Amino acid sequence: MLTIKNLKASVKEKKILNGVNLSVKRGEIHAIMGPNGSGKSTFVNAVTGHPEVLISKGSKIVVDGLNITHGDPDERAAAGLFAAFQNPAEIVGVPLTEFLRLAYNNVQKDRQGEVFRELSPIKFRNLLEEKIFKYKLDAPFFERNLNEGFSGGEKKKSEILQMAVIEPRYAVLDETDSGLDVTALKNVSESISRLASDINIGLIVITHYARILKYLKPDKVHVFIDGRIAKTGGSSLADELDKNGYTEAGYKKNE
């Protein structure tokens, strides 16, 4: 289980998170919605170990019993945590395929120890093609450098492919629906849903809109207001917010 207890955090001495409590089991999908400035992005950065986020004393982030509250991103990844960012960085000159091969070999060595034998480029390419076919990520982007010149949809597919290769226990998806047209949204959502089911991932999906949730069908929807979870409900809560907005739904700042 991914357990977040009393998470308080600041950025540049400004307090953003005011005590977030959240528990996600493997196989569950949790959606986090909220207006701009409610703390969603800071929450993602706090959970994934962004160096600019200062986590307060008394906060806890625990992955399957391992406390990673103040661990660096590598430690969090080794614990089984994955993050898909809204605008992932372009890495000029680094082939996506080689990046994924190195990531796969490092993760498997951590999990299996010395018995693991690294995959050669040819054997890894076979594995990669299986993942691409299985999750319908059939775009030529994997022949290029990491995110370099990628469209919005290609960046999202690249993140899903990374998740398929690494096979994390838990994943935080930050506005995966951003910049996608209707068809791309449907395809990306279906790929995420199938992957999450296949390898039993616990998902936290950050979004402004309910449209992606129509495909992912979350177990719980959480409303973020002023750096905390103001309300939790089922998928119908997302529909209510999509229809009426946050103010009309009764969620006001500083209440």
CATH at 138 = 3.40.50.300
pLDDT tens per residue, range 185-241: 888 889 999 999 999 999 999 988 788 888 898 999 999 999 999 999 998 888 888
210 domain residue, yes or no: yes
Asked whether residue 186 is assigned to any structural domain, the reply reads yes
Residue 253 inside a domain? The answer is no
**Distance (Å, whole) CA 92 – CA 97:** 13
Rounded CA-CA distance 56/66 in Å is: 18
Residue tagged 């991932």 (tokens): 201
- Looking at the domain assignment, is residue 201 inside a domain? yes
Residue 249 has pLDDT above 70, yes or no: no
250 pLDDT more than 80 = no
* Structure confidence at residue 254 as a pLDDT band (50, 70, 90): very low
- Read off the pLDDT of residues 38-70 as tens digits, 9 standing for 90 and up: 899 899 999 999 999 999 999 999 999 999 999
d(CA 207, CA 95): 29
Indicate the helix (H) or strand (E) that contains 237: helix 235-248
Look at residue 141 and tell me if it is in a domain.
yes
**Residues in contact with 93: Cβ distance below 8 Å, sequence separation at least 6, in sequence order:** 145
Q: How many domains does the chain fold into?
A: 1
The answer to whether residue 255 is domain-embedded is no
- Model confidence, pTM: 0.89
> For residue 197, is it within any domain?
yes
List C-alpha distances in Å: 87 to 12, 44, 56, 196, 245. 22, 13, 27, 21, 25
Name the residue range of residue 48's domain.
2-248
Query: For tokens 């990046």, what's the residue?
Result: 99
Distance CA 116, CA 119 (A): 9
> 254 lies in a domain?
no
